[in-house]
Amino acid sequence: MHREITRRDFLNGVGVGVGAALLPIAAFAESASAQDVAGYYPPALTGMRGSHPGSFDVAHALRDGAEFEGEDSGERYDLVVVGGGISGLSAAHFFREAAGPKARVLVLENHDDFGGHAKRNEFTIDGRTVIGYGGTMLIEAPGGYPPVAKKLMRDLGIDMSRFYDAFDRGLYSSLGLTDAVFFNEETFGRDHLAVGDRGDPDIVDGTPLSSEGRADLARLIRNDRHYLNGMTREEQIDYLGNTSYETYLRDKGGFGDEAIMAISATPRGVWAIGVDAFPARAAWSSGYPGFGDLDLGIYSYAGESNEPNIFHFPDGNATVARLLVRHLVPGSAPGNTMDDIVTARFDYGALDDAASPVRIRLNSTVVRVRHEQDKLSNPVEVTYVRDGKASRVTAKRVVMACYHAIIPRLCPEMPARQRELLSASLRAPLVYTNVLIRNWDSFAKLGFHRVDCPGSYFHRVMLDYPVSIGDYRFSKGPEEPIVLHLNRIPGQPGPSAREQFVSGQRELLATPFETFEWNVRDQLGRLLGDGGFDPAEDIAAITVNRWPHGYAYGYDPETDRVAFEPSQWPKEKRHWEQGSKRFGNISIAATDAASNAMTEAAIEEAYRAVGELAATP
Ligand SMILES: Cc1cc2nc3c(=O)[nH]c(=O)nc-3n(C[C@H](O)[C@H](O)[C@H](O)COP(=O)(O)OP(=O)(O)OC[C@H]3O[C@@H](n4cnc5c(N)ncnc54)[C@H](O)[C@@H]3O)c2cc1C
C-alpha cells in the first residue's frame, strides 16, 4: 500500500508514449479554449474527470452572486443549446431536422468534452487502447424506448440486435467466475470475501456476521414471504409508500443491522440512495428482497418484460453522443457506422468551426439567457464565460438542456412560480471510477468478476462488460489488461433523500483525487490480495468520474419527498412538468424535465422542447 506509483501513471495515463495523443492536464487548465489546439483529446485524460476541476467554478460563482457582462461577439444563430449532453445534442439534431441543414446552431457546454454524463474514458497500455465508460453506462430496455428515441437510435445507425454478437456473455462463466460479496473489517469485524451467487442463502456461510445475523441474512436472501399480513392491499400500498425500505425490513420483517447492512449496496448502486431513504414501495417495485410474492396489483419494474434488455458500447452511451456529434459536424470524426465510431478519434478542432452550420463550443459556461428588451417575442441573448472571458451571442431560439436548478439564475425574468418549480429539481451524486489493471489473474484465481462491498468506500467493483465492436477487441483472457469499474455513492445516511444528495455533493467537491486513489489501492489490495494482486504493480491508471449533479429526480418541497417513481405521482405534484414549460423563445429539455434520469428521457424531452419552439410565432 505504501509503495509509490508514479504520478505520471495516474495523471497522464500509462504509456505516455502515445505522444501527441495526450496534452498534460495543465495545458487545458491554462487555456480553457484549448479545444482548437492540436492534440486536444479529453477522453484520454485520467485523474479527476466527470465534473473535472475548472468545469463548475463559473456556475458556482454565479450561484454565489457573481454577475457577468458579456461582450457582443456578433455571432447570430437560429438556435443556441445550453448543455452538450445527450439531451442538448439531440435537441440540435431535432432542430436541424425541422429547420433544415443550413440552420445555424451553437451548443455551449461547460465541460472540456461533449456528452455530459455520457463520458468516454480511454486508456493506453502497451500500445493498445482500452475503453471505459465514465458515466451513462447503457441503453436500458431499448424495446421500451419511446418512438422518438427508438427512431433516433435507428437514424444514428444503432442496431440493438447486434449486442448479442458483440457481448461475450459466456466469457466470465466459461472461466468459472461468478458474483461475490466483500464484508469489510470496519463494518463487519473482519475482512471476508464470500464468492458465490448473491441470491444463494449459502453465501452467508463463513461470513463474520453473528449467528443471528447470518440467519437473518439467509432469510432475507431466500425472500420467500412478505411481512404485511393483516393489511388490506390499499393499506399495504399506503404503508410501503410512506416507509423507507430499511424501516420496513426492520419493523415488519424483524431484520437486524447486520442483514440490512449486508444488502445496503444494492439500492445505492442503482438509485444512488441509502436503504434508509429509499421508499419501500420502490424497493418492492424493483424486486428487492423482503417482499416474497407480494402482489400490490400496481405497476412494478420487476414485472417489466426482459426483452432485449440492454445495449452497451465499450464507452457506454458516450457512443450515442459521439454518433450525434459526428452527424451534426460531419468533419469531426471519420466513418459512418456504429462499428467504426467505437474506435474513431474525434478531431476536436473541427467542433467549433465558423464554416460549419453546427458548432460545439466546450469549456463554456452559460451565465445569462435573456430576451432582448425582455420582450418574449424577441431574439435571445446568451452570455457565456470561457477562458475567464464573458461573451454574448444572439439566437432566435434557445433550448436549455442543462440542470434545471441553474435555470432561474440564468433567466431571472421567468415567472416566480416557474423559477420555484425549476429550483425544486434535485440531482443525486455518483462517482464512477475506472481503474486500468495490467491483468485480471487475481479475479480468475478468486473466482469472481463482480463484487458488492457493503460498507466499503466503493460499493461495487466489477470487471468491465466483455464487449467487442468494430476494431475494438475486449480483453480476451486474464493475462490481458482490463478496466475495472468501481462505483461509489457519496453522502452520509440521513433522514431524507434530499439531505443525502446534498451531503454527498458537498463531500464530493471536498474529496481530492488522492483520497480516491488511496481507497482504490486499499480496497483492491484487500479484495484481491489473496489472488496475488499487488496495487503498486498491477494498477496502471485511475480515472475518477465524479458527478455531483448526477441522476435527475423530481422533488416536492412540501412533503420533502423525492420522486423515485415519477409516473406514480399525481399530476399536480409533477413539478418537473410544470417547471419545464416554454418561456418565450426559450424551451427546456434534459432529464430533469421528466424526473427520469435515463437516456430515452433526455431524448424525448429534447424532442418536446424543440417541438415547443416550432410552435412559437
Ligand atoms: C454515473 C451515471 C450513470 C448513468 N447511467 C445511465 C445508464 O446506464 N443509462 C441511462 O439511460 N442513463 C444513465 N444515466 C443518466 C444520464 O443522466 C442520462 O442518460 C443522460 O445522459 C442525461 O443527459 P442530459 O443531456 O439530460 O444531461 P447531462 O448529461 O447532465 O448533460 C447536461 C450538460 O449540460 C451542462 N451544463 C449545465 N449547466 C450548464 C451551463 N450553465 N452552461 C453550459 N453547460 C451547462 C452540464 O455540465 C452537462 O454536461 C447515468 C447518469 C450518471 C450520472
For ligand 1, say whether the CB of 273 is within 6 Å of any of its atoms: no
pLDDT in tens, 61-104: 999 999 999 999 999 999 999 999 999 999 999 999 999 999 99
pLDDT in tens, 276-315: 999 999 999 999 999 999 999 886 665 555 445 789 999 9
State the pLDDT at residue 164. Answer: 86
State the pLDDT at residue 614. Answer: 85
- Partner residues linked to 85 by β-bridges: 115
Q: What span, in angstroms and rounded, lies between the C-alpha atoms of 610 and 602?
A: 12
What is the Cα gyration radius of the chain?
Answer: 24
> Residue 388 class from Cβ within 10 Å (0-12 exposed, 13-18 middle, 19+ buried)?
exposed
154 C-alpha to ligand 1 centroid (Å): 21
The closest alpha carbon to 538, from 604, 609, 481, belongs to 481
pLDDT in tens, 331-374: 999 999 999 999 999 999 999 999 999 999 999 999 999 999 99
3-class state of residue 451 by DSSP: strand
Top pLDDT among 535 and 270 is at 535
118 C-alpha to ligand 1 centroid (Å): 6
For ligand 1, say whether the CB of 118 is within 6 Å of any of its atoms: yes
State the pLDDT at residue 596. Answer: 93
Choosing from 270, 324, 402, 426 the residue with most ligand 1 atoms within 8 A of its CB, the one to mutate for a pocket test is 402
Q: What span, in angstroms and rounded, lies between the C-alpha atoms of 454 and 458?
A: 8
pLDDT in tens, 222-237: 999 999 999 999 999 9
Top pLDDT among 32 and 519 is at 519
Give the residue whose CA is nearest to atom 4 of ligand 1.
136
State the pLDDT at residue 290. Answer: 97
Are residues 105 and 78 in contact, defined by beta-carbon separation less than 8 angstroms?
Answer: yes
Provide the pLDDT confidence category of residue 143 given band limits of 50, 70 and 90. Answer: confident
For ligand 1, say whether the CB of 434 is within 6 Å of any of its atoms: no
State the pLDDT at residue 617. Answer: 53
For ligand 1, say whether the CB of 111 is within 6 Å of any of its atoms: yes
pLDDT in tens, 521-563: 999 999 999 999 999 999 999 999 999 999 999 999 999 999 9
Mean predicted lDDT score pLDDT of the chain: 92
117 C-alpha to ligand 1 centroid (Å): 4
For ligand 1, say whether the CB of 430 is within 6 Å of any of its atoms: yes
- Tell me which DSSP letter residue 53 carries: T
- Tell me which DSSP letter residue 297 carries: S
Are residues 438 and 15 in contact, defined by beta-carbon separation less than 8 angstroms?
Answer: no
In the predicted model, is pLDDT for residue 516 greater than 60?
yes
220 C-alpha to ligand 1 centroid (Å): 35
In the predicted model, is pLDDT for residue 434 greater than 50?
yes
Instruction: List for the chain the helix, strand, coil content (%; round to 5).
Output: 40, 20, 40
State the pLDDT at residue 353. Answer: 96
Query: By percentage, how much of the chain surpasses pLDDT 70?
Result: 93
State the pLDDT at residue 495. Answer: 78
For cell 464487449, the residue is: 467
Q: Locate 438 and state its grid cell.
A: 495490467
Provide the pLDDT confidence category of residue 105 given band limits of 50, 70 and 90. Answer: very high
For ligand 1, say whether the CB of 488 is within 6 Å of any of its atoms: no
Q: Which atom of ligand 1 is nearest to the CA of 602?
A: 26
Give the residue whose CA is nearest to atom 20 of ligand 1.
599
